[in-house]
């Protein structure tokens, strides 16, 4: 007996003369759900054929390989899937437990019931109820983000990332939340821009030639270097789309957005406060030994003399009188931010002085710095002209260096 497949009438007549009975075998029909299971399994089989091994789990692996590994696990767990695919598994993937337990063959098949893709055994579970099934565009975007390579010249970029971290800590830069309501199409990514995406600080090192895309829109290929030492050549729109989908994505502002305050007060300026430099009259051993170079530096919106009038009763001032060494007026500025910039810049010279307050309770005072007054003069000048980001304080040489 011969199963009837694609025989012509001539073939059938010849077989009849030879006494061979032709059996008409109906092709098996699958439900939509079964077809998706089979199609998914075929993707796994194709992966095995191309790579000569089973798909594996692991955060460092390609996202689709990880998906195939989860899918295969789910198929093996469900009897309905194993039964459906039993005759469609010449590679032996359903029973394989290692890369040596299967053979590479031509035909393939699989399961889309996996929880990763949202298909369950519930009666209503179908293509319409799939969860987490991404469009081709989403898959491509995810693939581009995941497709990073080692940045061979990362040492050239490392100082930039270090500087950004210092400037963020000093308040010279800020992070701005990505406004998803604005839509990523209107957002532009420029060369030398820093941003945060996928938990990594990213630097746009290069912007390639403009590419014409559909609907008269443009795009460009970017070289993006990440703070973990990797890089990617990603399309600008794909990077923006990744930020759009990342709840924690942020832009990092430039450090040179203008001086923090003007050098002179105009007639219509509102005086916002004063930077003050104080010298303590305390007999604390540390102060007494270095009185000429230990100073308290702060910012106040009040009159400085009023601010220090009660110094003898205030642990912040070491429970002693103070001498006002220098003051610098400022206008139209955030006092809190400016004080943070100053304190962070001089952090290497910060002192922690242990005293007892007027109630006898031990406290640690941290707002005093081992720094000469001329350094404060230079610091204020560089804040005014907006170049402070290019310098740091070297306490060993008592100098501000580029």
275-309 pLDDT, tens per residue? 999 999 999 988 988 999 999 999 888 889 988 99
Do 285 and 197 belong to one domain?
A: no
115, pLDDT greater than 80: no
State the Cα–Cα distance between residues 12 and 24, nearest whole angstrom: 11
Question: Rounded to the nearest 5 degrees, what angle is found at the Cα of 324, between the Cα atoms of 315 and 303?
Answer: 85
Which residue stretches of 192-307 are H helix?
Answer: 236-245, 285-289, 304-307
Q: Are 146 and 116 in contact (CB under 8 A)?
A: no
Do 340 and 371 belong to one domain?
A: yes
Q: Please check whether residue 195 lies inside any domain of the structure.
A: yes
Do 306 and 393 belong to one domain?
A: yes
Do 293 and 397 belong to one domain?
A: yes
State the Cα–Cα distance between residues 272 and 268, nearest whole angstrom: 12
Q: How many separate domains does the chain show?
A: 3
Q: Are 196 and 249 in contact (CB under 8 A)?
A: yes
Tokens 């952090």, residue located: 347
pLDDT at position 369: 94
Do 391 and 275 belong to one domain?
A: yes
Q: Please check whether residue 260 lies inside any domain of the structure.
A: no
The domain boundary residue, chosen from 75, 95, 129: 129
Mean pLDDT of 104-109: 40
Does the predicted model carry a pTM greater than 0.75?
no
State the Cα–Cα distance between residues 318 and 360, nearest whole angstrom: 13
DSSP string, 170-215: HTSS-EEE--GGG-GGG----TT-EEEETTEEEEEEEEEEEEE-GG
402, pLDDT greater than 80: yes
Do 156 and 102 belong to one domain?
A: no
Tokens of 351: 């002192």
User: Domain span at residue 222?
Assistant: 152-252
pLDDT at position 109: 41
Mean pLDDT of 168-196: 71
State the Cα–Cα distance between residues 212 and 107, nearest whole angstrom: 40
232-272, pLDDT tens digit by residue?
998 888 888 888 888 788 888 876 544 444 444 445 444 57
């Amino acid at each position: 007996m011969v199963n009837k497949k694609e025989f012509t009438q001539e073939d059938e007549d010849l077989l009849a003369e030879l006494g061979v009975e032709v059996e008409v075998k109906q092709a098996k029909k699958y439900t939509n759900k079964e077809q998706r299971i089979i199609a998914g399994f075929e993707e796994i089989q194709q992966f095995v054929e191309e790579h000569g091994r089973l798909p594996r789990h692991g955060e460092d692996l390609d996202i689709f390989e990880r998906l195939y590994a989860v899918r295969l696990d789910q198929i093996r767990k469900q009897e309905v899937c194993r039964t459906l695919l039993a005759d469609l598994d010449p590679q032996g993937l359903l029973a394989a437990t290692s890369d040596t337990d299967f053979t590479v063959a031509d035909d393939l098949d699989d399961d889309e019931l996996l929880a990763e893709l949202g298909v369950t055994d519930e009666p209503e579970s179908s293509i319409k109820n799939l969860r987490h099934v991404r469009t081709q565009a989403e898959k491509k975007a995810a693939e581009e983000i995941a497709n990073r390579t080692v940045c061979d010249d990362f040492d050239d970029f490392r100082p930039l990332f270090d500087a950004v971290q210092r400037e963020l800590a000093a308040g010279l830069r800020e992070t701005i939340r990505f406004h998803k309501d604005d839509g990523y199409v209107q957002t532009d990514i420029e060369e030398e821009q820093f941003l945060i995406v996928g938990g990594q600080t990213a630097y746009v090192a290069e912007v390639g030639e403009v590419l014409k895309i559909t609907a008269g829109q443009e795009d460009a290929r970017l070289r993006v270097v990440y703070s973990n030492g990797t890089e990617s050549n990603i399309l600008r729109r794909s990077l923006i789309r990744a930020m759009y989908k990342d709840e924690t994505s942020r832009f990092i502002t430039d450090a040179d957005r203008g001086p923090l305050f003007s050098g002179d007060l105009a007639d219509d300026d509102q005086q916002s406060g004063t930077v003050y430099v104080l010298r303590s009259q305390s007999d604390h051993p540390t102060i007494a030994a270095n009185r000429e170079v230990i100073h308290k530096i702060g910012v106040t919106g009040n009159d400085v003399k009023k601010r220090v009038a009660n110094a003898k009763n205030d642990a912040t001032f070491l429970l002693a009188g103070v001498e006002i060494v220098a003051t610098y007026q400022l206008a139209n500025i955030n006092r809190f931010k400016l004080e943070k910039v100053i304190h962070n810049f001089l952090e290497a010279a910060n002192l922690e002085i242990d005293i007892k307050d007027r109630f006898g309770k031990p406290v640690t005072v941290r707002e005093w710095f081992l720094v000469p007054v001329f350094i404060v003069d230079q610091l204020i000048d560089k804040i005014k002209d907006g170049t402070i980001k290019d310098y740091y304080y070297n306490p060993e040489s008592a100098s501000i260096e580029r």
